[in-house]
Each structure stands twice: as structure tokens, then as C-alpha cells.
Amino acid sequence: MKRILFFASGTGSNVENIIHYFKKKNAVAIVGVFSNNPEAKVLEKAKNQNINSLVFNRTELNDGVVLKAIEKLRPDLIVLAGFLWKMPEEIVHQYHNKIINIHPALLPKYGGKGMYGLKVHQAVFENKEAATGITIHYVNEHYDEGEFIFQQSVNVEDCKTAEEIANKVQALEHDYFPQIIERLLTSNI
């Protein structure tokens, strides 16, 4: 049984989608949802699925408390799904190539600190980009800079608002993220 641990800060539509995807299969266990945000909707979603969660503050993330909590759960893969804080170096090194993130744009465009969620889509809209997409990548100590695992683009020329772009990108995330996670878990991990 492979073990996935999530880090998420917000709504958790990706977490929920991935939980559903693996429910039908018996090879993967979701061992926890960790969040920096006590108000995050993702925590309710975890509770509804009887998945353990942990809420932590910045000090706990950086002083080893969170690392200890991760170690206890023995994850094969740590999945950042809308997690907005930077992973500390200590965790990144200990889980080298075992932490992945999804970003709602075609990195290296529209990445970096402060680029998340609707802000990304607003920038894409304002720049009149013909296409945007998703990037799934390994996490290193810099925002949105780890090695790419997968990208998929979508045409957004017909989108009249940033929200319309967000909907198209979210559909891509929901289609591809579970499959890529499954591929990683069944390959070299």
C-alpha cells in the first residue's frame, strides 16, 4: 500500500478529487491532510472522509515539529495541492523527489512567491495569453522551481474573465493530477 500525505491551504477540490480517485483502487492510502490554515475547507473534507489532519503554524513548520509529524506517517509521496507556504529546506532534503506540487499555469510563466489561485489567472487574462495550463513538478527550496514532471496546456482565447480561465485550468487539474500521482507511485518510488 503506497501512502500519500497532502499539504493544502484552501478549498481542497484537488484533495477531494484525488481521494475519490484512489477510493476505487486499493493500492493507495491517504494518510493525512496537513494545513497551515485552521479555516481551510480542505479540513472539513478530510474529516468527512475520516482522514487525519494537522494544523500547524509557521514556527512548527520550520522548527521540526511538522517534520516529526510527517515521519510518523511514513508517506511515499507528499502532495502539495494549493499549499501556499514554502516548504523548509530540511523537509525538502529529507523527502528529496518525494514532494510534488501542482501549479495552475505553464511554469516558468506566472510562478513564484505570491502567484497562486486566481491571481495567476488574472495575470494570464490581463496579458491576453492564448493558452495557459498546469504544471506538476518536484518541490525544491524555491517557489515553483523544481524539476517538471508534467505539463498540459489549454486554449483560453474564448475566456471572457479570469474565473472562466480558472474553471478550465481546474478541469485540467482534476483530470490529470490523480493520474500523474498514480504513475509516480507505481514507478520508482
Q: Any idea which residues carry the catalytic annotation?
A: 103
**Contact, 125 vs 161, CB < 8 A?**
yes
| Interatomic CA distance for residues 101 and 82, integer angstroms | 8
Nearer to ligand GAR, 30 or 81 (CB): 81
Nearer to ligand GAR, 55 or 65 (CB): 55
CB-closest chain residue to ligand GAR:
82
Closest CA to 140 of 74, 89, 76, 65: 89
Least distance to ligand GAR, CB of residue 116, Å: 3
Neighbours of 99 (CB within 10 A): 24
DSSP-derived 3-state class of residue 105: coil
Q: Which residue spans within 87-171 are E strands per DSSP?
A: 99-103, 131-138, 148-155
Nearer to ligand GAR, 64 or 112 (CB): 112
φ/ψ of residue 154, rounded to 5: -145, 145
Among 2, 3, 11, 182, binds ligand GAR (CB under 6 A): 11
SS3 content of the chain, % helix, strand, coil (to 5): 40, 20, 40
CA torsion sign, 88 to 50 to 104 to 73?
Answer: positive
Among 2, 3, 13, 69, binds ligand GAR (CB under 6 A): 13
Among 12, 133, 146, 178, binds ligand GAR (CB under 6 A): 12
**Contact, 136 vs 150, CB < 8 A?**
yes
Binding map of ligand GAR across residues 103-142, x = CB under 6 A, - = no contact: xx-----------xx--x----------------------
Among 5, 6, 10, 66, binds ligand GAR (CB under 6 A): 10
Least distance to ligand GAR, CB of residue 143, Å: 7
Binding map of ligand GAR across residues 138-177, x = CB under 6 A, - = no contact: --------------------------------x--x----
Residues at the site binding ligand GAR, with contacts judged by CB under 6 A: 8, 10-14, 81-82, 102-104, 116-117, 120, 170, 173
